[in-house]
Chains A and B, each alone.
Chain A
Amino acid sequence: MSEDLGLWAVPIAMLGGAIRVSTPFLFVSLGECLTERSGRINLGLEGTLVFGAMAGYAIAFETGSPWVGVLAAAIAGAVFGLFHGWICRFRGVNDIAMGIALMLLGIGLAFFFGKSYVQPIAPDLPAIPFGWWSDIPQVQAALQINALFVVGVVLAFAMAWFFKNAALGLRIRVVGDSTEAARAIGVNPDGIRLWSTAAGGALAGIGGAYLSLYYPGSWNEGISSGQGLMAVALVIFARWNPVMCLAAALLFGAAGAIGPALQTVGVTSGYYLFFAAPYVLTLALLILTSTPGKAQEGAPGELSITK
């Protein structure tokens, strides 16, 4: 096989890039999907993501195990989620305002505690070479897939199954759709929302750990470029469906990989323009999928944005 793939290098690089870039989107959007399905919005996931990245990196460095780092990031995320969930159950607390405060708090705390971890090198998460069957190096590189991505894909399908077939999943949907109906069937909406928010935070924390422990694979203050916020938009675009979240995350990842992929074939002009592709895509998709005058189908009825 020839080493030069010509223009084929672009889609292959985009595929690899999509998988690499999409993983944090995937985890944060699955977390947000779970939280929003219970009728609460957590805009603070950006802060949780950054804090998770810091916590995961620091703990992985201290213990020498990246998986312990991921666990630490999940726990840190869950704590943020619990805090958000606990505050929001009080009367008159607006979850959107609280989420923004929490986002800034998470980023601030991450910078504060993470100062001393900018220099040290923590162990990376392992990748699985799914490209062993091919002898084209570009394909092999593209299919070096991180274990967390695989976990995320399984999780997306598991969550879809959970919302349909598990009693707890149905109860979360009930709480998200109508607090009154939930009370009528004897479900405690506050409890369900609290734990859904906590679990959502944990997933966002894992997304953060992926950033610092795999791609880009180091901890610094500019580690997140707003993935946590984009993921919230992504959930709306995915109509609160976990499998659609996976598809949307991959689409965003692919858009984010356009710039680097074009670089591999020598297109370097307009690099920063391509950098903006995911954001342009967000805007375009939200405009295209919105229909004036049509009710948002699939939106949980208790979300404060739908009220």
Chain B
Amino acid sequence: MEALQVETVGMTMRFGAFTALDAVSMTVRPGTVHALLGENGAGKSTLVKCIMGFYHATEGGLLVNGREARIADPIDAQRLGLGMVYQHFTLVPSLTGAENLVISRADAPRVINWSAERAQIAEFLTRLPFQPELDQPVSRLSAGEKQKLEIVKQLYLGNRFLILDEPTSVLTPDEADEMLSHIRALCMSGEISVLLITHKFREVRAYADDVTILRRGRMVGGGAVSRLSNDALAHMMMGDAATPRAPHRQETEKRPVLVVRGVQARSRSGTSHIRIDDLTVHSGEIVGLAGISGNGQTELMEMLTGQRPLTAGNINVKGAAYSATRQEARDHKVRYLPEEPLKNAAAPSMSVAENLAFRDFDMGTSGPRLWQDRRAMERAAEAQIIGYNIKTTSAHSPISALSGGNVQRTVLARELSGDVDLLIVANPCFGLDFNAVAAIRERLIAARNRGVAILLISEDLDEIMELSDRLATIRDGQITFQGATSSITRSEIGVYMAGHA
């Protein structure tokens, strides 16, 4: 089989009155990497879902190798040789790599002769530039390994057109470069064509031949990458929206606020330990903690919020031992913004106003109160909804009805309200659109300038580089580097994150 040419012709998708995709025509030439660029909500995923048969386009069609293709469901797409690697992996967690490969084949034999299958897989892998892990259950693999296995699976299934949905978002810079080089090599050799969904210009520039840019469901530009400048790409992607200005940093007084010494705890899997020997966050600074997903960040957050018992060491806040009780958090003015706030920091079916009041609903002007003051709660909520630009139909709607960015803003509003001395945030901008990201980062910088000590745990290296004064890297549950952000380069950080040269 050869690489496929895939074309969309005037593809339009309407959901009721809302047009998610408006007459998009694009051509992915055989044996090329074609980048699909756009902000969140620009229609990228709608477009690929139409191609893969998850949605049926309202108008327009699809040509594969110049012939019209009717795709009713993903199975049809697979029959034509179209495959997709999702951001949320579709590998089955409890099955091993080999089991995942074999069972995803439509013609999997009724009784699987494992030695024959393994020999066949081994033979197939000799033609590939990278080797996936096949014997471990997928749930034990790192994100990078899962990604590799996903891509191998698509090739193993005989797919010759692959859609990669932000494939590098879970990888270190080095891993990402390695993976994309392999993809590019496969394209150049004429084995596959690739549609690469991304929002990173660097990747577009280094690895894509052509680019298509979507904004609000419309195709606003495209062509050969070599003929477009980064500025032109940014302008097309963002429209006339102002490009973010670099946040202004003020000089601040530095006193140690959070001091973590020799703390240990068991990891989530229970098989290893998290050991943080020394981590200090001062007032008026942002310390970024970089690391690949699953290297102990979640556990560290849980240790700091008192959700994970410590087996050794202690945590100090402003010189006093801290075990994250509600009283201590209140006394020392410690606040948290955990990842996935709808799940970890909100009661989904309670209203926005109630969620905003979680920190102080039980406190009156003179000590603890027994009855809630609903009217004061509402007034405070209205003020914060305006102040933080939270888009909700009313203060009474359940927080689960809000978009991800607005949930994030709501929780941030709650955590930054009143006096805050220490803020611990994890992946605050994950999955948010451009404007929401800019707004949240601005808030964090403003808090820093006010003298708040901020520990920023993030898997987005760009975010850490942009926001933090100092940064640390975490790998296998241990801090591998600490220093000023200006003292280290991206690729050096990558080495500390991945642990190999």
Contacts and interface: CB of A to CB of B under 8 A. Distances in A.
Interface of A: 165-168, 170-171, 173-174, 177-178, 180-181, 183-186, 291, 293-295, 298, 300-301
11 contacts: A167-B112, A170-B99, A170-B102, A170-B108, A174-B103, A181-B90, A183-B74, A185-B103, A293-B266, A293-B308, A294-B266
A166 B270 contact: no
B75 A173 contact: no
Q: Which of B90, B99, B103, B114 has the most CB of A within 10 A?
A: B103
Contact of B110 (A167, A174, A177): A167
Given A167-B103, A170-B103, A184-B90, 5 more contacts: A165-B114, A167-B108, A170-B102, A185-B106, A295-B270
Given A180-B90, A293-B266, A167 B109 contact: yes
Interface in B362-402: none
A304 B109 CA distance: 31
A301 B110 contact: no
A277 B92 CA distance: 39
A300 B270 contact: no
A173 B94 contact: yes
Q: Which of B78, B88, B106, B112 has the most CB of A within 10 A?
A: B112
B92 A178 contact: yes
B92 A174 contact: yes
Interface string B72-88: 00110010000000001
Interface string B92-124: 111100010011101011111010000000000
Given A181-B92, A301-B94, A170 B266 contact: no
B187 interface: no
B108 to A, nearest CB: 5
A166 B110 contact: yes
Contacts of A294: 266, 268-270
Interface in B442-497: none
Q: Which 4 A-B pairs have the closest CB atoms?
A: A294-B270, A170-B103, A167-B108, A184-B90
A167 B78 CA distance: 19
B91 interface: yes
Given A177-B93, A177-B94, A186 B106 contact: yes
A293 to B, nearest CB: 6
B112 A166 contact: yes
B90 A301 contact: no
Contacts of A291: 270
Interface in B49-77: 74-75
B95 A177 contact: yes
A178 B270 contact: no
A9 B104 CA distance: 54
B73 to A, nearest CB: 8
A41 to B, nearest CB: 17
Interface in B228-287: 266, 268-270
Nearest to B268: A295
Contact of B268 (A165, A173, A293, A300): A293
Contacts of A167: 103, 108-112
Contacts of B78: 186
B98 to A, nearest CB: 11
Contacts of A184: 74, 90, 104
A203 B78 CA distance: 37
Interface residues of B, number: 27
A174 B93 CA distance: 9
B312 to A, nearest CB: 16
B91 A181 contact: yes
B83 to A, nearest CB: 10
Contact of A301 (B93, B102, B112, B309): B93
A180 B106 CA distance: 16
A301 B89 CA distance: 14
Given A171-B103, A185-B103, A291-B270, A177 B109 contact: no
A178 to B, nearest CB: 6
Given A167-B109, A168-B110, A300 B94 contact: yes
Contacts of A300: 94
Contacts of B103: 167, 170-171, 174, 185
A170 B103 CA distance: 7
Contacts of A298: 94
A196 B269 CA distance: 30
A293 B269 CA distance: 8
Contacts of A178: 90, 92-93
Contacts of B90: 178, 180-181, 184
Contacts of A171: 103
A242 to B, nearest CB: 15
B340 to A, nearest CB: 15
A174 B90 CA distance: 10
A282 to B, nearest CB: 23
A180 B99 CA distance: 17
A177 B75 CA distance: 20
A288 to B, nearest CB: 15
B138 to A, nearest CB: 9
Contacts of B109: 167
Contact of A170 (B91, B95, B269): B95
Nearest to B271: A294
A166 B111 contact: yes
Contacts of B104: 184-185
B92 A173 contact: yes
Q: Which of B90, B92, B112 has the most CB of A within 10 A?
A: B92
Nearest to B95: A173
A295 to B, nearest CB: 6
Nearest to A171: B103
Contacts of B74: 183-184, 186
A170 B112 CA distance: 10
Nearest to B74: A184
A39 to B, nearest CB: 11
Nearest to A162: B111
A294 B267 CA distance: 8
B269 A165 contact: no
B426 to A, nearest CB: 18
A210 to B, nearest CB: 30
A183 B77 CA distance: 13
B111 A165 contact: yes
Nearest to B307: A293
A174 B112 contact: no
Contacts of B99: 170
Contacts of A293: 266, 268, 270, 308-309
A142 to B, nearest CB: 37
Contacts of B93: 177-178, 301
A171 B106 CA distance: 11
